[in-house]
Amino acid sequence: DTAVSQTPKYLVTQMGNDKSIKCEQNLGHDTMYWYKQDSKKFLKIMFSYNNKELIINETVPNRFSPKSPDKAHLNLHINSLELGDSAVYFCASSPSTGGYTFGSGTRLTVV
């Protein structure tokens, strides 16, 4: 009955590969997000979707593409992975009244 679930929890892959991270929320929230936490633990928003519509797209390389098949899912696909993509990626969701619930994170390591 996890509220926001991400898979996989750990992802180790080689440079140049393409990978996806999946996120699902069962809270009925209308907005979902992807955040990136770098090695210094700084958290920065990447994307936000509201009811399957992209509303925030920060300065993120085109290699990163979010996809929201429905209101409860927001996946992140990354093409041509680079060493600098290594980070922890967090999915989150929120209702219109505020209050954010985060997933447990996906630790991506590019070697």
65 touches another protein by CB under 8 A: no
Q: Residue holding tokens 């696909």? A: 77
Q: What is the DSSP string of 25-42?
A: E-S--SEEEEEEE-TT--
102 touches another protein by CB under 8 A: yes
Q: Residue holding tokens 């994170």? A: 105
Q: Which of 28, 41, 62, 84 binds another protein (CB under 8 A)?
A: 41
7 touches another protein by CB under 8 A: no
Q: Which of 7, 77, 105, 109 binds another protein (CB under 8 A)?
A: 105
